[in-house]
Amino acid sequence: MTTPETSTATTVAARAHARAQHGRVVECMPQLPPPEGTLWAETVAGGNYTHLAVPAGTELTLTDTEGDACAHLLLYVTGRPWERLNAADTVKVQWNAYLGAGSLLLSDQGRVLATLVEDTSGRHDALTGTSAAARNAARYGDGSAHGPSPAGRELFKLAAAKHGLTPRDLPPAVSFFKGVRAEPDGALTPTGSAGPGARVTLRAEQPLTVLIANTAHPLDPRPGYHCTPLAVRAVPGRPTAPGDGPRTATPEAHRAFLNTDAANSTTLEAR
Amino acid sequence: MTTVVLDQLVPARAGWSAVVRRGQLLTITDLAGNQAVDCLLYDAHDTTVRYSAPDTLQAQGSLFLTKGSVLLSDEHTPLMTVLADDCGRHDTVGGACSKESNTLRYGHHTWSQHACVENFLAEGARWGLGKRDLVSNINWYMNVPVEADGTLGIVDGLSSPGLKVVLRAERDVLVLVSNCPQINNPCNGFDPTPVQMTISED
């Protein structure tokens, strides 16, 4: 039975009830205002998602605080989302299937979206993407966005919609903190997590719209759905500058940054 | 009694597209050998449901496509099944060449050359598809090994003249093909050649 103090039977009481929640703090929420020196700080719950738009140069650090996060990531150039992450070009152009420090996340326009400037995990996946509702339903009994075992694709649909994008705008994603290795015969072996505290830092080389789904890796061999919180922190910075190591690490990177410079300067002129 | 519904030669470097009805077979013949056939699949009635390389890899637990591989959509539903395969190994990790990615892979001198994405855009436009609809594709007959340290690359093909791949449509499927025009890459021996696309039914 509702006590008079907690009654929500009237507008005034309902307002008081809602307002009484002001200032409540839980683990998985944005920190607002962001801590000094940061653009954004948030903890994303396991089985949840976030989305943010960041200026070029922003350094975005993802931390697997408890050791069972899996950050499925999609990137778009803000304002012209037809330029987006291309996982195939990312592995093919760099002649490597595995992401690590120094890797570039490439767009479908031959340009750099982000540089992976720091990686303490070494267990990432640019091959097997995120999960679909049907797969999670078969494995865990449910794959819906608000169920107990949400699929990454269902969360990406929601995150994309908030930027005016539809499922047609969802290409294959890359994933951080849960790895996959390919055997010589092509067999794919999940490597699991590096443990609590692993982090990666991505530097935005263009203005980016970032979609992140924190959901169980699709090849997670465990019978249950396991996904723990993901810390997301964005700080201001500058894009990789001429003379910086990642620019000239390979001929492919060199040309990718030249292409990116041209795109960024065109944007400046348009302003 | 097998009936041939459509039998078309796709010239070197050209695009091709057709709807393959549920239960029909699509045979892709590498006429001269060592030709990469870039391929995208869509539900013919709802093209927002399209081929997903990641879902296909998840489901079969292996990088390479061959007989028995089920080609899944991004909703994790079957689009086509590989019924027969003379080659033994096909790629779905390397994606398609584009004018833009070619500037990274080889140099800006390649900017004016043919590329698969152009073929996909041209063929896709005939069916109301645009750039948003292009995702990581299948590369029939293309050989992309991955070394222990992750080194990945397109190397000499395993194909030879006359080899066939036979796919069964698990629903009505729109198939887009770019008969890869690459001339900088061993995917087609630096020499694009024609392929044959045959749709048949029992």
Strand partners, A107: A85
Mutate one of A89, A104, A112 to test the B interface: name it (highest B CB count within 10 A). Answer: A89
A28 Cα to chain B: minimum distance (Å): 29
Write out residues in chain B with pLDDT < 70, as ranges: none
Q: Which of A70, A83, A92, A169 to mutate to test the interface with B (most CBs of B within 10 A)?
A: A92
Strand A198-204 with A112-119, pairing: antiparallel
Q: Report DSSP letters for B47-72, one per residue.
A: EEEEB-HHHHHHHHTBSSB-TT-EEE
C-alpha distances (whole Å) from A48 to each of A44, A170, A191, A261, B157 are 6, 17, 22, 34, 43
What confidence tier does A271 reach under pLDDT thresholds 50, 70, 90?
very low
- The reported pLDDT for the residue numbered A40 is 98
Between the CA of residue A216 and those of A196, B62, B169, what are the distances in Å?
A: 15, 19, 31
Mean pLDDT computed over A31-37: 97
Q: Taking the CA of residue B185 as centre, how many other CA atoms within 13 Å lie in the half-sphere pointing to its CB?
A: 29
Q: Provide the pLDDT for residue A270.
A: 45
Nearest to B105 among A93, A134, A182 (CB): A93
Identify the DSSP state of B119: H
Q: How far apart, in whole angstroms, are the C-alpha atoms of residue B55 and residue B77?
A: 9
pTM of the model: 0.96
In this prediction, residue A7 has a pLDDT band, given cuts at 50, 70 and 90, of confident
**Chain B residue with minimum CA distance to A182:** B146
Does A26 score more than 60 pLDDT? yes
Has residue A135 got a pLDDT over 90?
A: yes
With 0-12 / 13-18 / 19 or more C-beta atoms within 10 angstroms meaning exposed / middle / buried, residue B92 is buried
Mean pLDDT of A166-182: 97
Using alpha carbons only, what angle is made at residue A181 by residues A180 and A184, rounded to the nearest 5 degrees? Answer: 150
Between chains, do A186 and B62 touch, taking CB under 8 Å as contact? yes
Which is nearest to B142 in space by CA: B151, B155, B152, B128?
B155
Which pLDDT does position A265 carry in this prediction? Answer: 84
A152-169 b/e (C-beta count within 10 Å ≥ 16 → b): bbbbbbbbbeebebebbb
Higher pLDDT, A4 or A243: A243
- Tell me if residue A91 falls in helix, strand or coil: helix
Average pLDDT over residues A144-169: 98
Give exposure, A122-145, as e/b (b: 16+ Cβ within 10 Å): ebbbbbbbbbbbbbbbebbeebeb
pLDDT of residue A168: 97
What are the pLDDT digits (tens) for A36-88?
Answer: 999 999 999 999 999 999 999 999 999 999 999 999 999 999 999 999 999 99
d(CA B59, CA B55): 6
Q: Please give the pLDDT value at position A6.
A: 62
Q: Which residue of A has its CA nearest to B64?
A: A186
In Å, how far are A79, A102, B50 from A260, measured between CA atoms? Answer: 15, 16, 29
- Looking at the complex, report in whole angstroms how far the Cα of residue A194 sits from the nearest Cα belonging to chain B: 18
